Structure 1
């Protein structure tokens, strides 16, 4: 796998879209200002957040650095304006947006540069919102799988955390957490894990072996439980801050 970190998802956007659980609608309700006209979805990916925003804002601009993802977005969301771009150069006029949002992508960004660009684009009072939607803690996750997933994380840009330079014109960051559980089969859980960048980036043999070991482990857990599914915990971790006048 030769794709750059953060761009591996475009190798198979259909697989990612099908098997990576989407952000809950409640998360968008907390992040998005009421009566928003223009909203920017940065690092839009396959459009999990874009889909929700289109029902809540008059205009949605979806930005992604991966051309394959942009093609996917244009085909599936003709009502959105899709641009190839980055968090540091958004195709938005100064002080034009009601919200700049991102889901499961902030850890790929430079917080200072992305924050400054969001500040440029936002109207006074506009929201910079960040969300992560991920598996919750559970003893069902194999340490070996956890180690591989965590190997892709940059310690200087931790996931599930948002921090901005103090000199940027934003209010103190607010945090909100939404937790829930979803019943999933071992096959579905393994397919979800196959959408994580570190696992996508493994060689074919290593990836198959790791997911096979996880599948066997989860199947044993389901048999012990006496059901075809397992209760998988999920957590949406949300942050928002408002642009100062």
Structure 2
């Protein structure tokens, strides 16, 4: 992906003010988000669970897409998110899961309580030094922090242009190592390619689930939708109801907590 100049050379670097402004877009609209956002491939779950954790905390859990996958693999999971709306959708899906409305920087959970901390599609929403310190506080010695992202595979030119029209802000250069605090060892990386069948209405819904669209004016939203319609139906030549395999990739980083002194 190094030949795609419009992707950031430094991933995850957003000012605190801008991060808070964009993150506020997810205080509502959780049900529509939940319907269109994809789950994570089995290989990414295997990567996350390689050390056979028993207790996990999924921070920035959103509507519970990844939380459900962790539960499905037998883990005792606590779900944390700053959006009550997102947690309400998660509670309908997973009524047995304990939830907590809190930030990743200060969960208030008991220290030394978990084998695994996960951030699926959420590490770019936190203050990294503070969130690293909090994850380390929550983990037992040698516990693991795993960060995951699903993103459009913009190494493919037509997908790259689609991502730009959608203003897909969570598309990073997957080879760039996410910032972690000194509490963690050098992270290991995994990457997996797959595709998601989408028609035009689903492309629009996916766009509407993104922070840029949610925070934009009605005029800007209409412009984005018009550009998508032109690109999808006229430039690419797809029928609106046609299911198209849209290339995705999942990349993940896992890091072991250093032993407490």
1:224: how far off?
6.3
1:139 equivalent in alignment to 2:151 = no
1:205-227 deviations in Å (ceiling 9; x for gaps): 321221122123112355369x9
TM-score by length of 1: 0.86
- 1:162 is matched with which residue? 178
Instruction: Tell me the equivalent position of 2:167.
Output: 149
How far 1:95 moved relative to its partner? 1.4
Give the aligned partner of residue 44 of structure 2.
27
Q: What are the within-5 Å matches in structure 2 for residues 160-239 of structure 1?
A: 160=174, 161-165=177-181, 168-221=182-235, 223=237, 228-239=242-253
Aligned residues: 235
Q: Where do 4+ consecutive residues of structure 1 move more than 4 Å? A: 141-145, 158-161
The 3-state SS of whatever aligns with 1:5 is helix
Q: Deviations over 1:113-139 (max 9, x none)?
A: 111111111111211000110111133
Q: Deviations over 1:141-168 (max 9, x none)?
A: 5759627726x67xxxx67541223xx2
CA contact (8 A) 1:63 1:84 kept: yes
Q: Which residue of 1 aligns with 2:146?
A: 129
Cα RMSD after superposing both structures: 2.5
What SS does the corresponding residue of 2:228 show, helix, strand or coil? helix
- In structure 1, list runs of 5 or more residues that go unmatched: none
Distance 1:18 1:232, change over 3 A: same
Check whether the contact 1:39–1:57 (CA below 8 A) recurs between aligned residues. no
Q: Give the superposition deviation at 1:234.
A: 0.4
Asked whether the 8 Å contact 2:144–2:256 carries over to 1, the reply is: yes
Are residues 1:61 and 2:78 paired?
Answer: yes
TM-score relative to the length of structure 2: 0.81
Query: Does 2:105 match 1:88?
Result: yes
Post-superposition shift, 1:34? 4.2
Aligned to 2:131: 114
Mapped partners of 1:164, 1:127: distance in 2 = 12
- Separation (CA, whole Å) in 1 of partners of 2:213 and 2:192: 26
Partner Cα separation in structure 1 for residue 118 and residue 128 of structure 2: 13
Alpha-carbon distance in structure 1 between the residues aligned to 2:191 and 2:244: 22
